[in-house]
Structure formats: C-alpha cells, structure tokens
Amino acid sequence: MLTVAAFGFAAEFVNTAEPAKVPRPPAELAEFFAPPKQYQSDFAKFRSPFVFADGRLVRTPADWQRRRAEILSTWHKIMGPWPALIDKPSVEVVSTTHRENTAQHQLRVEIALGGEMVDALLLVPAGQFLAKKRPAVLVVYYDAETGAGLGAPLRDYGWQLAKRGFVTLSIGKPNARIDFGDHSRPRGEPYLGPVGKPVRVQPLSALAYAAANAHTVLAQRPEVDPARIGIVGHSFGGKWAMFASCLYDKFACAVWSDPGIVFDERDRRKENPSGSVNYWDVWYLGFDLGVVADTKNAGPFRKLPSEGQARTGAYKTLVEGGHDLVELHALMAPRPFLVSGGTADLPERWPALNHASAVNKLLGCDHRVAMTNRDTHTPTEQANEQVYRFFEWCLSDPK
C-alpha cells in the first residue's frame, strides 16, 4: 500500500490556501483532536488519499482539489452514480404536536431515489430560540422516531439537540413508516432501493443520496441557517452519516457514532458482538447492481470474508482495488468531524484518521478530526454529551 509515511513527502507539501477560520475547540473537547502517543505519525498500511490513480502525488492544495474530484468520481462509479439531487423536495405536513418548548412536525419528505416520500420528524424549538436563523442537524437511523426521542434510549440526538436550540430533522430508512409504538429495538426490512426495481446505486450510497436531499429540506426552512447544518447517526446510522457527509460537502460537520470507520475483515466478535463492521452485506455495499431489489429475501448477516464468504458488489471492487474508507474521510476536509467510538471503533482506528488530518494540514487547518472512545457499542450519556458539545462548537454563529 502507498502511504504518506512511505514516501516521506508530508513535510514537502506547499500550502498556498488561506486556512478556514474556526474557533479552537472548547477545553473539554481539545484532547480528542490528537491521537494517543503510540499512534502519532502512524498511517498503517492504508493507501494514502494523496496518491492519484496514476501514481502522481498531491503536493499542493490545488493538487488536492483534483485528487478530491477523482476520489468522488471513482467511488460514485463503483457504487453507482446518483441521479440529480432534488432542487425543491416536496414536504407534506402530516401532523403537528408540542413537546415541552418544541414543536414536533410529522412530515413526508421527497428525498429518496425515484422521488420516494420518506417519513420524518422535524423538531423546531420555541420562538425564544428563533430570533435569528438557527443551526440544524439531520439525524439518521433505522426509524425517525428514535432520533426524535421516541425510541431506544441514548440515540435521541435530535431531541437532545432541539432542547439546546437546534432545529433537527430525524429520518429513518425510506421504507420505514412512523409508528409511535415500541421502538426498543430496530425494526423493519433492509433498504435496498425502490422495491421491485433493478438496483442501480449501492444501498448505502442511496441512503447518502436521501440524506443529501434531506439537507436541502432543512436548508429551505425559514428558521435554518443553510451554512450551519450537520449530520449524526449511530451504528447503521453512523455508516449512513459518514457516507452522506463525505459524499455531500454541504454538510458543515458530522458525527459518526461507532460505525466502523474502515473496512475490517477480522473476527472481532469478542470485542464487538454487534458485528457492525459489515460493509460486505448486501444492504450496505455488497449488492450486485442490476438485480431487482427484494427486501423480503435480502438474507441474514453474511459470514466474514475471512471465513470463506465471497466478496460481492461494490465492496469486492473497492477492496480488491486497494480502496478503503480513508479516502472518504479525506473528502471531509476542511470540515470538522467527530468519531464517537465504541467497540467498533477503538483507539486503534487513529492511523486511518491520521490521513484525514494530513489533508487538513495541507489545507492549513487543524482541529478538524476528533475521536472519543467508550467501552460499549451503545452510546453513553458522556459520549453523547461530547457529541452535543461538538455540534455547539462546530455550528456556533460565526458573527
């Protein structure tokens, strides 16, 4: 693999760009923007995002913009290109209720492939918060209710952020319908794309497309500052948030909660019983494009490729082509992101994140890549408080 360290050219980069100006992170977050000592200057065996497909090396910010476009083009080609984004998504208001100081709007929004309408819950803080346009956060998960505080505990990012003055929009899979019942466990069939039609875009990329259109829904709200919209998700939602924020640069920042931030085919069932680093599954990147979507026969979680399960779909092409998610991470620069790591993303992931930090260094930026860690896959109150402080920092009013 071609790494930054292997070439020894990191110090030779020429930075001619004006660094983007953001405030330094608050003291309680500052330590999370640097790797532990044992991972400093460790880039592992990941192919550097600074290496063009033809072997040329990125040396200047202008070079990086060309390489960035190449990464985007390559991944979209492999995963299936997106159709045009929706300029003015249709928004239908199903109902409006009030919870504490927040208006809750149940919506149907036109965001998915084929213009499919998706259930959503919009939380708008009461008037005293809305003297001027507010920051907003998109929350992605299996269902819309959980993000809005009406489902499994400690995944209620939308509700907690709304209580802090953010406008939030929580969405689930396009095939998930709002049901204000028991959401103690994720539910519903996998999302593969429009039912009964050939799959043209890998499911995880299709979810990212929906999130990009959901960003537009938020950006067109009168209460929202379109330049201050972030995204967050946990586990399945963490993968979704990662792909959406990396592939769509209008998200100002992102938090990925324990998604598994690299391709990892090791057997880590002991450390991570949830098995969340499974990008080879058909509902992520393992679908063979052109086959008709049949969610009722998507199958169970597959075996590890290291256990003899053949790689399929875009996952096969990416892995065998030497690509890894460090290329997507790099697309975030210079936008800040936080990995809220658990058992899927231990501190050992820092060598992957060091590549994104190197891109930011080339652009003259620091304090853009952070990771916190906990001992469980399930979020904790402390981890979530770090998430909220991160958004308060990233999306603060610059005036």
**pLDDT for res 296:** 87
Q: Is residue 212 part of a domain?
A: yes
Q: Is residue 172 part of a domain?
A: yes
Q: Is residue 206 part of a domain?
A: yes
Domain count, the chain: 1
End-to-end CA distance of the chain, in Å?
44
Q: pTM, whole model, 2 decimals?
A: 0.95
d(CA 275, CA 272): 6
**pLDDT for res 183:** 61
Q: Is residue 83 part of a domain?
A: no
**pLDDT for res 312:** 96
Q: Is residue 315 part of a domain?
A: no
CATH number of residue 114's parent domain: 3.40.50.1820
Pairing status of strand 117-125 against strand 134-140:
unpaired
Pairing status of strand 102-110 against strand 91-99:
antiparallel
Which H or E run contains 328?
helix 326-331
Closest among 19, 78, 26, 53 to 370, alpha carbons compared: 26
Q: Is residue 18 part of a domain?
A: no
**pLDDT for res 343:** 96
Q: Is residue 375 part of a domain?
A: yes
d(CA 35, CA 40): 6
d(CA 356, CA 391): 19
**pLDDT for res 188:** 77
10-residue block means of pLDDT along the chain (399 residues)? 48 50 88 97 96 98 98 98 98 97 97 97 81 92 96 96 97 94 70 94 98 98 97 98 98 98 93 85 96 88 91 97 98 98 97 98 97 97 98 90
- Residue 235 belongs to what domain range? 91-309+336-346+368-394
Q: Is residue 146 part of a domain?
A: yes
